[in-house]
Amino acid sequence: MLHTWRWFGPADPITLAEVRQTGATGIVTALHHLPNGAVWTVEEIRARQAEIEAAGLVWSVVESVPVHEDIKTGGPRAAEAVEHYQQSLRNLAACGLDVVCYNFMPVLDWTRTDLAYPMPDGALALRFDATALAAFDLFDLARPGAADDWTPEQTARAAGLWDTLDADARDRLRATVLAGLPGAEEHYDLDRFRAALATYDDVPADRLRGHLDDFLRAIVPVAEQVGVRMAIHPDDPPRPMFGLPRVVSTADDAQRVLDAAPSEANGLTMCVGSYGSRADNDVVAMTRRFADRIHFAHLRSVLLDDDGASFTEAPHLAGDADMVAVIDALLAEEDRRGAAIPMRPDHGHVLLDDASRVTNPGYSLYGRLRGLAELRGVELAVRRLRGA
């Protein structure tokens, strides 16, 4: 596999010089300073490439070219945004970049309720707690219709939790839920978040799926023409939230994406942690089933609570996922296609000196370094056992 590292550009507190020492050879990044829907010019792409190459690394995967919200809602800028996306793909291909990870999540592309959950060994992890999310949804956001999305039992637990939180704890929960992915181009307060949710009032799941189909039918032929492989990332967490539909959450969803635009250029990001956040997703079976269309892998694991909805980000080899079997399936596909699949460690714990330095939530230095080392060790062992 090609060992890569997520880097959020010049503002990332982890430097490329530090990344060089992790064992990664490839960088996964994006032009985060450009607004959603803008064309990525050749000049901007090459400038970022030059910065990465000057550090002795290679820009291997684009994560991501964001999909403008109007494409998802069918808004007034949808056609223009699609044209800009197509041109960005042409420009990326002209610069030698041929793997693009992207997602189709409405409004928020990443949701957690705790960014520093204490683990038994003293490390800090990301956590998603369904009760905490319900408390935010029902009593802070006070979303119209929220009461219909939670069972009486969930509402009672949420109310009990909300009553225990002081003003600072409520503010922290709000900030955490609205934080989104580090490097995200959109940032929200409560009022802006409510306004963003309102744009999806007339976009149920079937309509969002239709807009994804339209996007794929417009983008995939261009990607195929210029030699780019698109790799859609699953929803995180993989279930509806805040009344928003989610349409890339299950194996059936993934198959539907592939069927919408049949082409090797239309593929998947196998995010083990995201798909694994649903108990009904068998990530090993999914990796084997979709192996020939997996163009990128996020290797992380989660530990699900008994409620089947809450989860904690586990050490890379210690969660519910059988990471050894996932890696074995990816290596079998590499042997078949005669080419490496890029992978990266994802959502590392805060370990050791991570606690005394500034890091993006989930993107610590030592936590991901540990994860990458473990994953590389598994890869080497599996290759030896396979006789490779």
Q: Does residue 250 sit within a domain?
A: yes
DSSP states of 210-230 as a string? HHHHHHHHHHHHHHHHHT-EE
For the annotated catalytic residues, the residue numbers are 233, 271, 298, 346-347, 363
Q: What is the CATH number of the domain that holds 10?
A: 3.20.20.150
Q: What is the mean pLDDT of residues 308-328?
A: 96
Q: Does residue 154 sit within a domain?
A: no
Q: Does residue 122 sit within a domain?
A: no
Q: In b/e form, how buried is each residue of 260-282, taking b as 16+ CB within 10 angstroms?
A: bbeeebbbbbbbbbbbbbbeebb
Q: Does residue 130 sit within a domain?
A: no
User: What per-residue confidence (pLDDT) applies to 387?
Assistant: 79
Residue spans of beta strands (DSSP E) within the chain: 2-6, 26-29, 58-63, 99-103, 114-118, 124-128, 229-233, 266-271, 294-299, 301-304, 311-314, 342-345
The yes-or-no verdict on residue 206 having pLDDT over 70 is: yes
Q: What is the mean pLDDT of residues 63-79?
A: 95
Average pLDDT of the chain, as a whole number: 95
Q: Does residue 309 sit within a domain?
A: yes
- Percentage of the chain lying above the pLDDT 70 cut: 98
| Rg, Å, the chain Cα set | 20
- Give the predicted TM-score (pTM) of the model: 0.95
Q: What is the rounded CA–CA span in Å between residue 182 and residue 303? A: 22
The yes-or-no verdict on residue 380 having pLDDT over 70 is: yes
The yes-or-no verdict on residue 71 having pLDDT over 60 is: yes
pLDDT in tens, 102-116: 999 999 888 999 999
Domain interval for residue 42: 2-112+194-385
Residue whose C-alpha is closest to residue 134's, from 117, 114, 151, 109:
151
Token pair recorded at residue 126: 């990301």
The yes-or-no verdict on residue 303 having pLDDT over 80 is: yes
User: What per-residue confidence (pLDDT) applies to 386?
Assistant: 84
Which H helix or E strand runs over 95?
Answer: none
Neighbouring CB atoms inside 10 A of 349's CB total 26
User: What per-residue confidence (pLDDT) applies to 188?
Assistant: 82
Q: What is the mean pLDDT of residues 132-153?
A: 96
CA-angle at 77, arms to 74 and 80, nearest 5°: 115
User: What per-residue confidence (pLDDT) applies to 184?
Assistant: 55
Token pair recorded at residue 140: 């802070």
217: confidence class by pLDDT, cuts 50, 70, 90 = very high
Q: Does residue 121 sit within a domain?
A: no
- The amino acid occupying position 150 is W
Q: Does residue 341 sit within a domain?
A: yes
User: What per-residue confidence (pLDDT) applies to 182?
Assistant: 59
From the number of C-beta atoms within 10 Å of its C-beta (0-12, 13-18, 19+), residue 170 rates as middle
388: confidence class by pLDDT, cuts 50, 70, 90 = low
The yes-or-no verdict on residue 120 having pLDDT over 60 is: yes
Q: Does residue 52 sit within a domain?
A: yes
User: What per-residue confidence (pLDDT) applies to 109?
Assistant: 85
Total structural domains within the chain? 1
186: confidence class by pLDDT, cuts 50, 70, 90 = low
